[in-house]
Amino acid sequence: MCSSCGCDATEPVGEVTHYYGKPMVAVIELSGEISNGDKIEVKGATTEFVMTVEGIRNDAEEPVEVGNAGEKVAFKTPEKARPGDKIWLIKDEGSG
């Protein structure tokens, strides 16, 4: 369930494996697809925030529009993310 609006329109798409504090960048191991412009929730034991994904980079640090299941990607976050935090894709209400 999405904490930002309480809806059930979410699906798990990955997990934080690393976090770099100075640039505020999280590395995510994906279990689903994620794209620039997607709205996600980052949630863990002490973490909970919603953000729009921008500036996805692949393992080679090249900018990409989409990350797919099985890949590791990185992007900036507005708050601290912690290894083990889950990434949930927040779907548009009309897409479920």
Q: What 3-state class would DSSP assign to 93?
A: helix
> Does 95 score more than 50 pLDDT?
no
- CA–CA gap between residue 12 and residue 20 (Å, rounded): 22
- Is pTM beyond 0.75 here? yes
Please, which residues have CB within 8 angstroms of residue 57's CB and are 6 or more apart in sequence? 63, 64, 73, 74, 75
Q: What 3-state class would DSSP assign to 95?
A: helix
pLDDT at 6: 59
Domain ranges in the chain? Answer: 10-95
**What CATH number is given for 10-95 in this structure?**
2.40.30.10
pLDDT at 96: 45
pLDDT at 10: 84
15-73 residue pLDDT tens:
999 999 999 999 999 999 999 999 999 999 999 999 999 999 999 999 999 999 999 99
Give the containing element (helix H, strand E) for 70: none
Type of residue found at 30: L
pLDDT at 91: 85
Cβ pair 74, 29 in contact under 8 A: no
